[in-house]
Structure formats: structure tokens, C-alpha cells
């Protein structure tokens, strides 16, 4: 929640934007792997898994 809160106000429509204040439309594997390593996730975890998690929590 803290990460989401830090995104507020960066863009009027999108939650996640890159350094040029444009929406993140894609994520390459190298950046995804670096992010997983940084937060300590070593298992088989994919970007799309976040969508499933969000949908489950919403229900």
C-alpha cells in the first residue's frame, strides 16, 4: 500500500509511470527479474501472476 500511495499524483490517469512521466505499457524480462531479485522473490513468479492475485482479492 505504501508503494501505491507514493504513486499518487504522479499522473492524472495512470498509477505506474516511468521516469518520463509516461504510463508503463510493457516490462521487459530483465527489469522484472531485477525487481524480483531486489525484493527477494526467487521462485517462478510472472508479471501476469499479479493480475490473478488482484482479481482474487477483489472477489
Nearest CA-CA partner of 3 in 35, 49, 44, 27 = 35
Domain residues for 18?
2-58
pTM of this structure: 0.45
Would you place residue 55 in the very low, low, confident or very high pLDDT band (cuts 50, 70, 90)?
A: confident
Per-residue pLDDT at 5 exceeds 80: yes
Q: How confident is the model at residue 58 (pLDDT cuts 50, 70, 90)?
A: confident
Q: State the Cα angle at 35 between 11 and 26, rounded to 5°.
A: 50
Q: Do residues 29 and 40 lie in contact, with contact meaning Cβ atoms separated by under 8 Å?
A: no
- 30 has pLDDT over 80: yes
Q: State what percent of residues in the chain have pLDDT above 70.
A: 100
Domain tally for the chain?
1
Amino acid at each position: 500500500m505504501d508503494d501505491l500511495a507514493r504513486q499518487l499524483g504522479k499522473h492524472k490517469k495512470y498509477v505506474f509511470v516511468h521516469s518520463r512521466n509516461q504510463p508503463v505499457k510493457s516490462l521487459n524480462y530483465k527489469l522484472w527479474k531485477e525487481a524480483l531479485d531486489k525484493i527477494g522473490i526467487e521462485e517462478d513468479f510472472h508479471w501476469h501472476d499479479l493480475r490473478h492475485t488482484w482479481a482474487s482479492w477483489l472477489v
